[in-house]
A and B are shown apart, each in its own frame.
Chain A
Amino acid sequence: MGVNDMEMKIEEKKAKLRVEMREQPPLVRARNFLEVPYGYSPEEAVEEAGRCLTCKNGPCRQGCPVEVDIPAFISLIKEKRFIDACYKVKERNALPAVCGRVCPQEVQCESRCLAGKKGMPVAIGNLEKFVADYEAANGDMKVPDMPKSTGRKVAVIGSGPGGLTCAVDLAKAGHQVTLFEALHKAGGVLSYGIPEFRLPKAIVEREVAYITKLGVEFVPNAVIGKLFTIDELMNGRGYDACFICIGAGLPMFLGIPGENLNGVCSANEYLTRANLMKAYLFPEYDTPIKVGKRVAVLGGGNVAMDSARVALRLGAEKVYRIYRRSLEEMPARKAEVHHAHEEGIEFTLLTNPTRFIDDGKGNVCAVECIKMELGEPDQSGRRRPVPIKGSEFQIEIDVAIPALGTRANPILTKTVPDLMVNRSGYIVAEEGTGMTSKPGVFAGGDIVTGSATVILAMGAGRRAANAVNEYLKWKHWEFK
């Protein structure tokens, strides 16, 4: 094909619009917990796949932290070999049904897509979701041929995306893997944090079923550091190596007056009640949640967004997103901001809460805020918000949800004196391997990097699995 033909082909393909995924209308979905998009039909998937140029070096691949072979899996969709396409994705990414839904594709794979240079990038995430769902509905759970047991035992601690990925890879390498989880359910943030309407829990459960099929022993209700220490696992219980992937689950508060009033609860608490404990089905499920008529969510990130949209679905009449900068600086994904807008969530920008007001009975009845304006840029390059004197005002609310980020939870690390942590309590680990200061102990995911993304935690889990393999062969430890 000559250069001109190539150009022609590109022009032709770009001209076609991206096949948008049909979704529930905003005012309907704002009152239920069903997934927002319906997903592609096979015809739609083939049509969207047709927009892919099958670029030779797949620049999209470089945008994906685990380098899914995107051109290859999309080509298989074009050939209507949907299940093969799914296996192709799974070669690099054990959780396609999850990543297709929650990856920030606009800054990862899709940001590098050549078709996107002039028009819209190929909807890689949507296609990934499609093949995974197709396989779930039509294929049987394919368990790969397992190698002979190596006789080695590895403990994976934390069953979030990082731990799940590491456990799968280690099991496939023939090791005996035990996955310890503090909660009663596997999945980490996928189970307790990300709401049902963005990631149906049945999908997470299916992935967990898959790891047990691979022979991974799943042990819920095991708070490592309390039930067993790392040393007890490695010495008394005969584990040859450990991978710590316990997330960054400690909620932050503002430290303003009234924060301990009833009705003020962290996003972690609110989302855990709603998702893990299924409080949205209360009283069929026993865990209650404050529904709230008027809810204020504090913070600008994705977690704040999820909390606001859960509050709306629980039946709140009014949900405010209070954020101290402007929409432009908001770290939440643009698509989700758009979704929230459509659903009727009110954005109260350039506003900072200063205190919560007591109704006299220990419940929050209002939040006092101060208006902000943007000043000079700070270290992050974003313009620093500064309060406008005398601009205080109150918003009447009955539920407030601070969603201000999370920190490292010391419950495990403080019981491992020879494990090096940094000043904020995150575990110090080598990036390429996850090796820590303690021989045989690897770490990765949010507990090393601070809150990041699902796919980055999975990447860390995979790299650690490779490093554990090497370590089990040579038992060599050199930590710089």
Chain B
Amino acid sequence: MYKILKKEDLSEQITLFDIEAGDIARKARAGNFFILRTHEQGERIPLTIADFDSGRGTITTVFQKVGKTTNHLGTFNEGDFLTDVIGPLGNHSHIENFGRVVCVGGGVGIAPVYPIARALKEAGNKVTSIIGARSKSILFWEEKMRGVSDDLIVTTDDGSYGTKALVTVPLEEIMMNEKVDLVVAIGPAIMMKFVCKTTEKYNVKTVVSLNSIMIDATGMCGGCRVEIGGETKYTCVDGPEFDGHQVDFDLLMKRLQAYIPEEHTARCGGKGNGGK
């Protein structure tokens, strides 16, 4: 089980896997995520199910190499096996015909936005997608996104491709010109924060998918807590999608930093904790 059937490097930092996981593929819906472990000593990390094929029994994931586990994951090849794959987790996206929808994907967030855009389009929405990245070399899935959108806008921070802008610029232009019924935004916390600030001005409902640090992802540890409208929620079981206007993004960003000193130790091969 959990064999990697396909590996594709989408950019230097971003890799795609198709993983054999038939039962999960049959159950997965847009918006779900899964947990994996690379090896016996490995940690449990959450990744979004960016696509699924129940016929072939595979799930697709797109991940960015940011730290120890994701870098290790990047060394896996086709034919290798993952130690554990657990899912589908979290609530799936709420899909219906809202009318006019804008889907925003930033960086590796383009992958999780894809199945949502596709489902929204299938449900009859008019979908404009905005995908953005720091630079052309790390942009991926442009054609795939175009295939599930009525319009596609591409931005890069450095102007190496598409419009030189942050994703919030074209988003604001759209909202100035037409009535938008829903915005879905997935990307770095800071991007989602500013998307929400922009849409708040136009009073457009905005759904974001949060990426808290997780362990069990079944509601058992409380490690993934976030504050939504002043109330504590667990991203893994209450989310990962929330009403963006209610999210305390500053808290989320601080909590994402919680283990930076420890991760630093790990990278520098520091000493262990206590006894044997």
Contact = CB atoms under 8 A, between A and B. Distances in A.
Interface of A: 31-34, 182-184, 220-221, 223, 226-228, 249-251, 253, 259-260, 262-263, 265-266, 268-269, 272-273, 277-291, 313-315, 361-362, 409-411
A304 to B, nearest CB: 15
Contacts of A281: 272-273, 276
A263 B261 CA distance: 12
B123 interface: no
B9 interface: no
Given A223-B86, A262-B257, A286-B43, A314 B220 contact: no
A426 B87 CA distance: 24
A184 B88 CA distance: 14
B269 interface: yes
Contacts of A280: 272-275
Nearest to B68: A286
A262 B23 contact: no
Contacts of B42: 285-286
Interface in B192-244: 215-216, 218-223, 225-227, 232, 237
B265 A283 contact: yes
B215 A272 contact: yes
Given A227-B87, A283-B266, A262 B223 contact: no
B78 interface: no
Given A182-B218, A283-B270, A253 B232 contact: yes
Contacts of A411: 218-219, 237
Contact of B232 (A33, A259, A283): A259
19 contacts: A184-B37, A184-B44, A184-B86, A221-B85, A223-B86, A223-B89, A228-B23, A251-B222, A260-B227, A262-B257, A272-B221, A277-B44, A281-B276, A282-B272, A286-B42, A286-B43, A286-B266, A362-B254, A362-B257
A361 B43 CA distance: 26
B273 A315 contact: yes
Interface of B: 23-24, 27, 37, 41-44, 68-69, 83-89, 215-216, 218-223, 225-227, 232, 237, 251, 254-255, 257-259, 262-263, 265-266, 269-270, 272-276
A266 B254 CA distance: 18
Tell me whether chain A's interface is mostly helix, strand or loop, or mixed.
loop
A279 B226 CA distance: 23
Contacts of B24: 227
A341 to B, nearest CB: 20
A206 B190 CA distance: 47
A31 B86 contact: no
Contacts of B276: 32-34, 281
Nearest to A270: B221
A250 B84 contact: no
Nearest to B250: A362
B252 to A, nearest CB: 10
Nearest to A358: B254
A201 B33 CA distance: 30
A227 B232 CA distance: 26
Given A262-B254, A290-B259, 15 more contacts: A31-B274, A31-B275, A34-B276, A184-B44, A184-B84, A223-B87, A227-B24, A260-B226, A263-B258, A269-B215, A283-B269, A284-B41, A286-B69, A290-B262, A314-B274
A362 B255 contact: yes
The 4 closest A-B CB pairs, nearest first, are A32-B275, A362-B254, A288-B262, A269-B221
Contacts of B43: 277, 285-288
A283 B44 CA distance: 14
Nearest to B86: A221
A265 to B, nearest CB: 6
B86 A34 contact: no
Contacts of B69: 286
A61 B24 CA distance: 47
A269 B223 contact: yes
Nearest to A414: B237
Given A262-B254, A288-B259, A251 B216 contact: no
Contacts of B219: 249-250, 409-411
A318 to B, nearest CB: 15
A361 B273 contact: no
B81 to A, nearest CB: 13
A272 B273 contact: no
A262 B255 contact: yes
Contacts of A183: 216
A249 B88 CA distance: 19
Nearest to A246: B218
A288 B220 contact: no
A467 to B, nearest CB: 27
Contacts of A269: 215, 221-223
A31 to B, nearest CB: 6
Given A269-B223, A286-B41, A409-B218, A361 B263 contact: no
Nearest to A362: B254
A228 B26 CA distance: 10
Nearest to B275: A32
Contacts of A31: 274-275
B111 to A, nearest CB: 21
Contacts of A278: 41
Contacts of B27: 226-228
Contacts of A283: 265-266, 269-270, 272
A291 B273 contact: yes
Contacts of A268: 220-222
B89 A226 contact: yes
Nearest to A268: B221
Contacts of A286: 41-43, 68-69, 266
A161 B220 CA distance: 17
Contacts of A272: 215-216, 220-221
A464 B225 CA distance: 36
A31 B274 CA distance: 6
A356 to B, nearest CB: 13
Given A184-B83, A269-B223, A409-B219, A262 B258 contact: yes
A279 B68 contact: no
Nearest to A219: B23
Given A221-B86, A278-B41, A361 B274 contact: no
A409 B236 CA distance: 13
B255 to A, nearest CB: 6
A281 B221 CA distance: 20
A279 B273 contact: yes
